[in-house]
Amino acid sequence: MVTSNFEEPWLSVSPPDLENLFKLDPYLKLHGNEIKRRYYHYKKLVDSLSANEGGLKGFIESYKTFGIHVQPDNSIRCLEWAPGAEGLFLKGDFNSWSNISHPFNKLEFGKWELIIPPNPDGTPAIKHGDKLKIGVLTMRGIIEDRISPWATYVVQPETSIIYDQVFYNPSERYTFKSKKPLAPTNIKIYESHVGISSPDYQVATYDYFREKVLPRIKKQGYNAIQLMAIMEHAYYASFGYQVTSFFAPSSRYGTPDQLKRLIDEAHSQGIYVLLDIIHSHACKNVDDGLNRFDGTNSHYFHDLPRGEHTLWDSRLFNYSNWETLRFLLSNCHYWLEEFQFDGFRFDGVTSMLYHSHGIGHGFSGDYNEYFGLNTDTESFNYLQLANHVIHHFHPNAVTIAEDVSGMPALCRPVSEGGGGFDYRLGMAIPDKWIELLKECSDEEWNIGNLVHTLSNRRWKEKTIAYAESHDQALVGDKSIAFWLMDKEMYDNMSTITPLTDIISRGIALHKIIRLLTHGLGGEGWLNFIGNEFGHPEWLDFPRAGNNSSYHYARRQFNLVDDELLRYKFLNNFDRAMNTLEEKYRWLSADDSGYVSWKHEDDKVIVFERAQCVFVFNFHPTKSFPDYKIGVDEPGKYKIVLDSDAEEFGGFKRLDHSVEFFTSPEGFAGRANSMMIYIPNRTGIIFARHYGY
């Protein structure tokens, strides 16, 4: 028998803070070797990138050299990577669309270069606003029109559905005036889509959002916005999730400088700006997308089935490819540096993490599901690398993972062997609310299971809580307001009409569903544009199936501005909830919320967080006078938020002048107790009065 002393190389390379990870989650020790293996491959990538092409910083600044750029002498340099092409040609308005007058020269490693000298008068040979295409001579001997993968501005002409690259070189570029705000420790995100932000039947603009919507967001108490559908997408109805040009802000809302002005204005108001970034897949478009740029099926993507996402009908990146890493890491740096975005919400992380892309996978929580052969190490290493680049070169940046699988350590530092994200989205929470609203009557709600869903998150891995996002607003689903009130929202939301049972229930539950999620669900909060006031309709973009209608592709802020409509009550409550959190900061509190009471028959939940006592009564009919609750800190307490208050469309059954004194008699595992009145379908927050 032959024996060997060979040891796998990754066993000798450990993340520097691995022991800290094991302290936080001892179950991970069983998978320590796999964590080391992943980290070993990540470290090899970092070392290789750092040792070549001017180091890591030079690598992520590749967007400054690739694509089409004006040089200091006004010559124009074009650089592309197209290893499968037989030739490249630049054509456009500047050369009367000649197919062959401006050929690229072939360089090493599949790169192609073209230098166009300036005009005799010293001006660039290509004018600002000129339309361009790259002609790619494929292996089939045919020249096919393409758009540069590095294009920074693309526009759809009126006479075609195919986008054109537009040379963007204005004589004056927008200069940022405001400093970036610090990353909020109690982040409250207003998830936004510029195009739908107007009540009008049209695509809203960057300027409109800046002038009309930003003031609303600020007034509502949000300290961050997440801009969706910014990376250019040829199909509006894709909601921005089928990206065609990764470096181009969508031209349907305005110019790149107008987007910069929007972000600058947000910063001037202290609002942190996140970009919804899509690095999990790309649109399959060939004529105006990234797909088959050099005429081959691979290029930036995997070939054969591994390069296809069957459910999304899109292409999947090859994260082991050097030039794919250049493209995507540069893309991260580009948006943070050139547009001054503050951070990212990474879309489709679950799809990236697993070879199955999470399709048909329920994820039971068994750790073998996360550390087995189904996990895509190359994708995980890319996410580690992206987070390293983002946080190293932009220390104030925040990254959020859209992950439904609950992969352990995804939101722990890369130095511990984790994924490096700051937050993950609490995607199980909205699913639970929809399940309850869709399948159960109020009396059947399982309070214990609800509390478990809201509080079940990985220790020291921060979560963004939300009751609903854009996913629940899309046509085919319903927002919480629609699940609660449906068609009655069209006839009975006026204050001059009688309050019906359905509207009464809907307004009451809408408030306490959001407050419970806000208070117990995570370390951050997210709301989708319009949901703060219970937007009455779903979201559906103009498409062939609805006769290209904009009726559902807009947010009707006119409804909340109408004093005769009850939407104002929900809006008022949302603002009060955010304002109170800013005072007590439960989202950034050290404790995640101590639940002392969850009573199935009474439908009552009590928990403490950030020196506040949260009390909820979800019972449809029962109110409870002299209800005993446990309180840890002794003293005098007062009501600081009451969902039943008149300004929130409630029945004002609570007297806010009443002071509540604790008794030293312990209750529900707490050292003290007090007696309170809890009306049905009401949420209350008590705060200790320190003048006592």
The residues assigned a catalytic role are: 347, 402
Say whether 208 sits in a helix, a strand or coil: helix
Distance CA 322, CA 480 (A): 45
DSSP 83: T
Question: In the chain, how long is the greatest CA-to-CA distance?
Answer: 91
Residue carrying structure tokens 């049209």: 202
In the 3-class helix/strand/coil scheme, how is 315-384 assigned residue by residue? ECECCCCHHHHHHHHHHHHHHHHHCCCCEEEECCHHHHHECCCCCCCCCCCCHHHCCCCCECHHHHHHHH
Q: Which pairs from 29-38 meet CB under 8 Å and 24+ separation?
A: 30/367, 31/367, 31/370, 31/371, 33/8, 34/371, 35/371, 35/409, 35/417, 36/10, 36/11, 36/417, 37/8, 37/10, 37/377, 38/377, 38/380, 38/381, 38/384, 38/417
CA end-to-end span of the chain: 81
H, E, C per residue of 256-286: HHHHHHHHHHHHHCCCEEEEEECCCCECCCC
Count the Cβ atoms, other than its own, within 10 Å of residue 201: 11
User: Please, what sign has the CA dihedral across residues 579, 397, 610, 447?
Assistant: positive
Side-chain-facing half-sphere of 266: CA atoms under 13 Å: 32
